Structure 1
Amino acid sequence: MDQIKIGKFIAALRKEKCLTQEQLGENLGVTNKTISRWENGNYMPNVEMLSLLSKEFGVSINELVSGERLATEDFKKAADSNLVTALDNSTFTLKEKIAFFKKKWLKEHIATIALRVVAWIGIIVWTVQKLRGSDAYQLLGAIGSMLAILFYVVLRNRMMIYVEDHAYRATPDKENETKNT
């Protein structure tokens, strides 16, 4: 999205309606400085403001985001391009969502993880004390290592299930559409 082009388009639409920045700001519930920032290309209006601007000027959101009036044949092409750009510039990328939900899961389960690690270490220490003087230390080390790997795999699987459920979750509207069809 070309913020400068969009800003110039907003300014041109405002002038066509013979509105000052202050008047437009009052109509939209923002300051004249905000209007100025949009028109200079310093900031982009958020989705709610794009919707209000669209109604105010009688143009589509697609035209606002394109920064120009669109002929019917150009409308679909511009819509696809604008959608891809908007998704690329969305607040959170998929990688960021995955990282966020991994951290969240770890924070929620840190006590459980710590308790299990302490219990595992306690069992190993107790077994070592019982086997003093025995040649079973190697066997104990192998079993302990396998249990640690199993513990890691199980926890990682649980975390990834949680992450997938949350990061890839469809929006409530999409879920309702799927259920209704």
Structure 2
Amino acid sequence: MANIYNHIGETIQRLRTNWPEGKLSQEGLAEKLGTAANTVSRWETGTYKPTAEDLDKLARLFRVSITVFFPDLQHDDKRIAALTSATGGLDNDDFEEVVRYAEFRKARQALEKAKRPKSKR
């Protein structure tokens, strides 16, 4: 992948334009997130780099996994099975929060890796 931030920007734009209630403008998205419209525009062009927290807000708003912004994140079935076993007694809302937290951590690691110079990866 050429640039993770270009992929993130394209994904934000796709989610925004496919909003179930009709195309969501950059201004409308910015209002829902409590940020400036030019910030959304710059995320979409890859000029600004959203934080993991920004991506978490976007994922929650669009009701998608944060991993949608990171095509290289693979699921590890053994680890997922262990997590599922450990969270067996949780209600659905708590379980979803655990999953979101794990996905958030993976997203944050992917962003940190993208910031490092290529020679240190």
CA-atom RMSD, angstroms? 3.2
Larger Rg: 1
User: Partners in 2 of 1:10 and 1:56 — Cα distance?
Assistant: 11
User: Partners in 2 of 1:48 and 1:84 — Cα distance?
Assistant: 12
Residue 36 of structure 1 corresponds to which residue in structure 2? Answer: 41
Pair 56,88 (structure 1): closer, same or farther in 2 beyond 3 Å? same
The structure 1 segments of at least 4 consecutive aligned residues displaced by more than 4 Å after TM superposition are 79-84
1:88: how far off? 3.3
Check conservation: 1:50, 1:61, Cα contact below 8 A: yes
Check conservation: 1:6, 1:67, Cα contact below 8 A: no
Pair 40,90 (structure 1): closer, same or farther in 2 beyond 3 Å? closer
2:12 partner amino acid: I
User: Partners in 2 of 1:76 and 1:39 — Cα distance?
Assistant: 29
Residue identity over aligned pairs, in percent, reads: 33
User: Partners in 2 of 1:58 and 1:15 — Cα distance?
Assistant: 14
Pair 39,67 (structure 1): closer, same or farther in 2 beyond 3 Å? farther
1:14 aligns with 2:22: no
Extract unaligned runs of 5+ from structure 1: 92-181
Pair 48,24 (structure 1): closer, same or farther in 2 beyond 3 Å? same
Extract unaligned runs of 5+ from structure 2: 78-102, 117-121
Pair 82,53 (structure 1): closer, same or farther in 2 beyond 3 Å? closer
Pair 30,63 (structure 1): closer, same or farther in 2 beyond 3 Å? same
Residue 51 of structure 1 corresponds to which residue in structure 2? Answer: 56
User: Partners in 1 of 2:111 and 2:46 — Cα distance?
Assistant: 16
User: Partners in 2 of 1:83 and 1:30 — Cα distance?
Assistant: 20
Per-residue CA deviations over 1:55-79 (Å, capped at 9, x if unaligned) read 1111111212x159x8xxx4449x7
Residue 7 of structure 2 corresponds to which residue in structure 1? Answer: 5
User: Partners in 2 of 1:19 and 1:56 — Cα distance?
Assistant: 12
1:86 aligns with 2:101: no
User: Partners in 2 of 1:76 and 1:44 — Cα distance?
Assistant: 27
Check conservation: 1:37, 1:43, Cα contact below 8 A: yes
Look up the SS of the partner of 1:37 in the other structure.
helix
Q: Calculate the TM-score normalised by the size of structure 1.
A: 0.40
Q: Calculate the TM-score normalised by the size of structure 2.
A: 0.57
Check conservation: 1:8, 1:67, Cα contact below 8 A: no
1:23: how far off? 0.2
1:81: how far off? 7.8
Higher helix share: 1
1:7: how far off? 0.3
